Homo-oligomer: A and B are copies of this chain.
Amino acid sequence: MTQRVSSPSSRGRKAEPPSPSSAARERLSRWIAERGLKATRQRDVIVDTFFSSSGHLSVDELLTKVQARDENIGAATVYRTMKILTDAGLASARHFDDGQTRYEAAMGRHHHDHLICTSCHQIIEFENERIEELQDMVARHHGFQVTRHKLELYGLCKDCQGR
C-alpha cells in the first residue's frame, strides 16, 4: 500500500538489465503466441510488475503497484492477466485464510508449503520431503490419487511472539 515501485525515471533510455524474470517473459510470449492471444501494453506492465515484486502478492496489492505505473489499467485486466500467468505455469495462486487470492512466481520452482504469521502476515516457505512422503502414504492407504495438496501452518513468527 505505502509501497511504491520506484519508477526508474526512464528518460527514454531502457538500460535493459538481464532481469531474472526474462525467461518467464519469454515463456509467456510463446504461450500467448501459441494460442492466438495477443501481446498488449497492459499485460506487459502487469507481468513486469509482478515479476519485479517478490513474495505473495494479492491482486489488490499488485493492482496498486500496477496503477502506480499506469493509472488506467483496471482491476479486471489484472485478474485476467494473473489467470493467464497461472495457466501458463508462471505464477501460482494461493488461498490462505484471509479470503484473498495471492500469487507467487512459479518459474520452475519446486513445490513448497507455508508458515503464515497471523500477526504480521509474514509468509515463510518451506519444503519437507519427509512430510510429502507421509502424505503419499496416507493417500495410498485410502486408495486416493492426489493431484495437489495444501499444507499451511498458522501461528506467530519469531518476531511476533513477544508481543
Contacts and interface: CB of A to CB of B under 8 A. Distances in A.
Copies of the chain in the assembly: 2
Given A126-B142, A131-B134, 8 more contacts: A97-B150, A115-B142, A118-B147, A124-B144, A131-B131, A135-B151, A142-B157, A150-B152
Contact of A155 (B118, B147, B154): B147
28 contacts: A95-B97, A115-B144, A124-B144, A126-B138, A126-B142, A128-B134, A131-B131, A131-B134, A134-B134, A135-B151, A139-B155, A142-B157, A142-B158, A143-B157, A143-B158, A143-B161, A144-B153, A144-B155, A145-B156, A145-B161, A146-B153, A146-B155, A147-B154, A147-B156, A148-B154, A149-B151, A150-B150, A151-B152
Contacts of A13: none
Nearest to A118: B147
Contacts of A149: 151-154
Contacts of A152: 149-151
B153 A139 contact: yes
A126 B135 CA distance: 10
Place the interface of chain A in its size category. 20 to 34
Nearest to A126: B138
Contacts of A143: 157-158, 161
Contacts of A38: none
